[in-house]
Amino acid sequence: MPPEDLRQRTMLDRLVRSIKAFHSCPKIPGTFSPFRVVELYRESAESRGVEVPEVYWWLLERAREVEEALQQEPTALRPCHNDLLNANFLLREDRVMIVDYEYAGMGDLFFDLGNLSVNNEFDEDADLTLLEFYFDAATPPRLARLKLMRLMSDFREAMWGVMQQALSSLDFDYVDYANQHFARCRKHAEDERYQVWLRDAAEGT
């Protein structure tokens, strides 16, 4: 499913229904925290001789700010997919099927929403529509949590690219891949609204 299709209201509504259905499932094995994952990926890369880019440490400070804000009013852990790329969606009649649960675990539903948003290049209107379909209302705290998890999604993806420099045998430029996500992640963190997002996110949902 092309990302541009996912940004259309009818298709996004179908996709949100599928995401909510998974989020409503009984507890599944394992947990997923983007805050711990970026640390684990760094340890894995460094143990194999890969030099972690300097920007990692600056972004790690931002990640800790985000985690602290979200912990003020933590959301209940739900089954989450954590890899909502357009390649993991299949359209079957009028239903969107979600596949590839490799990274699934109990986590924060806002990571799934932020991951979906940033992976498929949602704009402001699409983010608001996503929240309206999921919650029936796009409140400032909900929007803030989505925006902050967009940042964490790119941070996770950048560090996945760093780790793959040691693990993968594919002919693929993982350095460039990681750098692209680092750059977009930093852009999120330097957004003039970042401090407002932290404040609003701390208020809950």
Residue recorded with tokens 């693929």: 172
CB 159 within 8 A of CB 56: yes
Query: Identity (one letter) of the amino acid at 145?
Result: R
Band the pLDDT of 7: cuts 50, 70, 90. Answer: confident
Closest CA to 38 of 53, 22, 23: 53
Please answer whether residues 178 and 161 qualify as being in contact, where contact means their C-beta atoms are separated by less than 8 angstroms: yes
Model pTM score: 0.94
Tell me 31's DSSP state: B
Q: How many domains does the chain have?
A: 1
The confidence score (pLDDT) of residue 1 equals 82
What pLDDT, in 10s, does the model give residues 110-163? 999 999 999 999 999 999 999 999 999 999 999 999 999 999 999 999 999 999
> Domain holding 67: CATH number?
3.90.1200.10
Which amino acid is residue 77, in one-letter code?
A: L
On the 0-12 / 13-18 / 19+ scale of CB atoms within 10 A, 13 is middle
Evaluate whether 136 touches 150 at the Cβ level (below 8 Å).
no
Q: What is the mean pLDDT of residues 27-56?
A: 96
Contact residues for 182 (Cβ-Cβ < 8 A; gap 6+):
53, 55, 56, 59, 154, 158
101 against 7, higher pLDDT: 101
Read off the pLDDT of residues 151-175 as tens digits, 9 standing for 90 and up. 999 999 999 999 999 999 888 999 9
- Predicted confidence (pLDDT) per residue in 86-98, tens digit: 999 999 988 999 9
Structural domain including 190 reads: 3-201
